[in-house]
Amino acid sequence: MPALAAIALVWLGAQQPDARAKALLDGWAARHGVQLEAPAPELAPAESAQALGQRGEQMLEQARDQVTAGDDGAARQILARLDQTLRENTDLLESSWLMAEQYRLEAQIARSRGDGRAASWDARADGLEGPRAPAFGESGEPRPAPPRIAVNVTVHGARRFEVYWDAVRVGNRVDTTYGEHHLVVFRGRQIGWSGWVSTFTGGAIDVWVRDAAPCSAEDLAGASGSAVLRDDGGSTVAAGVRCERWAMAGNGLAPDSVRIAFCHHDECGSFETEAPPREAVAAARPAEARGLPAWAWWALGGAGAALATSVVLWRAGVFDRAEPATKVVYDGSRL
């Protein structure tokens, strides 16, 4: 027997189909020579990103300890390793925060040595996370706000994506500062592109991100919430679905039934209704089939259970009346 062609199924509804609905769907699929399966799930983010973030925090803590101990040389070596790590592993969303903290420690070291580059380090840190209140012992004079420029981030390829600029979610247009910034483009739960970009003038940044795989959960995301019923009985879903052949189903209008239709890209055909045979419905509802409401059969069932219990107790002698025992009363007189 040839293997059935597997197609993705999108279920209309907040809750997944129960066992009864799954049996109806399987029967429909068998008659049409297909096998229904859930869309391929997205891959979860790599655990290495969390480990990388923890390593960056540890390196910053080690550098702070060296600065407190007065060993600026050892602190700068640690900060240099951190800088290299963040530039080689750009997928870490909080890279801009770690880099900004690195710049502030560099500024602290430069300031303690009377190095004039402290202001430059502070400006680079402010560009990544915004100006920070002066720390204890620092000059309380506010630094001038850096000039702002507008940058347009254009993502090509992917239909759905999220743009993060210096760890903050933004739109396609970003109001930012001159200098280096961290850009991450998420496609679903996956990082489609990440890297450090330099902005010296306003303009556009073009990023190419591969679209989701056809028939994957990401490709069919939003199909269940965007279905619109057409006059011809079919339905239309969110534009851009790349899946060649899939199915959409949900609970039917009649009790214990489901509706299901074949779909091609973002167009679905007419829905077919699947319902269990009448014999199965009658067997599942013996009370209604015999002309009595369900509560009556439940009551009779409860009465039968009580009667059976009474018989057991009677056979055990619980209801037997014992003969009265002889009772002697002493009135205190002598015999």
Q: Residue 58 and residue 41: Cα distance in Å, rounded?
A: 34
* Sign of the alpha-carbon dihedral angle for 228, 159, 219, 222: negative
Element at 79 (helix H, strand E): helix 72-88
pTM: 0.69
pLDDT 10s digit of each residue in the chain, 335 long? 566 789 999 998 778 889 999 999 999 999 999 999 999 887 766 557 788 899 999 999 999 999 999 999 999 999 999 999 999 999 999 999 999 999 999 999 999 988 889 999 999 999 998 776 555 555 556 666 778 899 999 999 998 899 999 999 999 999 999 999 999 999 988 899 999 999 888 789 999 999 999 999 888 887 877 777 676 667 778 788 899 999 999 988 888 899 999 999 988 888 999 998 765 555 555 544 444 443 333 333 344 434 333 333 334 444 444 444 444 444 444 44
Residues 6+ apart with CB under 8 A from 42: 188, 189, 190, 216, 217, 218
Angle formed by the axes of helices 72-88 and 48-69, to 10°? 160
Residue 141 near residue 163, CB atoms below 8 Å = no
Write down the architecture of domain 147-212 according to CATH: Sandwich (2.60)
* Sign of the alpha-carbon dihedral angle for 79, 84, 87, 93: negative
Instruction: Spell out the domain ranges in the chain.
Output: 5-40+214-274, 147-212
Position 9 scores a pLDDT of: 94
Residue 132 near residue 101, CB atoms below 8 Å = no
Residue 92 near residue 52, CB atoms below 8 Å = yes
Position 305 scores a pLDDT of: 39
Q: Residue 135 and residue 158: Cα distance in Å, rounded?
A: 43
Position 134 scores a pLDDT of: 59
- Which of 13, 11, 6 lies closest to 249 in space, CA to CA? 11
Q: Residue 184 and residue 86: Cα distance in Å, rounded?
A: 13
Whose tokens are 């850009």? That residue is 183
Position 47 scores a pLDDT of: 57
Helices then strands (H, E): number in the chain? 9, 15
